Structure 1
Amino acid sequence: MAFKRGFYLICGLCSLALGLLGIPLPILPTVPFILLAAFCFARSSDRLHHWLMTHPWFSEALNDWEQSRGIRKGLKKKAYIVSGLSFAVSIAVVPLIWVKIMLLCFALGLGLFLKQIPELED
């Protein structure tokens, strides 16, 4: 049992780190990593799970996801805008054409992923 809890704890901490890195970096999506961190913390650490579920940055979205399996329209719109701007700047700055194409593919993939998530009223 201790091995399993330790495994979930390490996965949760790594997911949280990747989610936080995903805030400024366009390639890493924030939401799936934070959701994974919440899942892992729920199975490994009550203290970290409670901290994440009550954190001012993530609590509203995590509770919406936990209760309704969706995100609010305003948050979804912000995700489209921030990720779109971030990808656009990255594509404009990168000199290699194959990296530009890869970033565009990631942007389209993220857009399709966001589109399929159910919307909740604000």
Structure 2
Amino acid sequence: MTRNVRKTIYLSIGWFFTGLGFVGAFLPILPTTPFLLVAVWAFSKSSPRLKRWLFTHPKYGHHIRNWFEHGAIAPKAKILSLSLMTVSVGFSLLMSENIYVPISLGVIMVAVATFILSRPSPSAVAIKSQ
């Protein structure tokens, strides 16, 4: 695969996930930051200018920088994520006729919640670096 083809593929991935991220800013069921993290990754392989644009975005830039520089997730984002995961598992318990679906979803959610809770908070990272 040539360099130009690869660059075009990464640019396409970046724009696709940027679009999903900005749609997620207006739809409460669609997350924003994870999509923008994928977009930054794709832009880092294809366009430093677009990567810089996302890193310096007034609303989402600090979340993206915290993740890429420190692996940090803001406490508010942790609480929101865990709350929505709990609601999802509860909803699956109510709606699913097969008990294995909510059990499987619950196991996955516990694993994801463990990962989210294991990430540092931006304020803790700032304190350690001083």
- Give the alignment's TM-score, normalised by structure 1: 0.70
- Aligned counterpart, 2:29: 24
Q: Secondary structure at the match of 1:77?
A: helix
Aligned equivalents of 1:90 and 1:55: distance in 2?
Answer: 36
- Aligned counterpart, 2:127: none
The residue type paired with residue 52 of structure 1 is L
Aligned length: 116
State percent identity of aligned pairs.
Answer: 26
Gaps of 5+ in 2: 125-130
Aligned equivalents of 1:91 and 1:13: distance in 2?
Answer: 36
Gaps of 5+ in 1: none
Question: What are the superposed Cα offsets for residues 7-60 of structure 1, whole Å, 9 maximum, x if unpaired?
Answer: 22233345456764xx626xxx7654432221111222355434533162x322
How do 1:17-96 residues align onto structure 2 when only pairs under 5 Å count?
20=24, 24=29, 31-46=33-48, 48-53=50-55, 54=57, 56=59, 58-96=60-98
Determine which structure has more spread, i.e. the larger CA radius of gyration: 2
Aligned equivalents of 1:84 and 1:17: distance in 2?
Answer: 27
Q: Per chain length, whose mean CA-contact separation is higher, i.e. which structure has more relative contact order (CA < 8 Å, sep 6+)?
A: 1
- Aligned counterpart, 1:119: 121
Distance 1:113 1:93, change over 3 A: same
Cα RMSD of the aligned pairs, angstroms, is 2.9
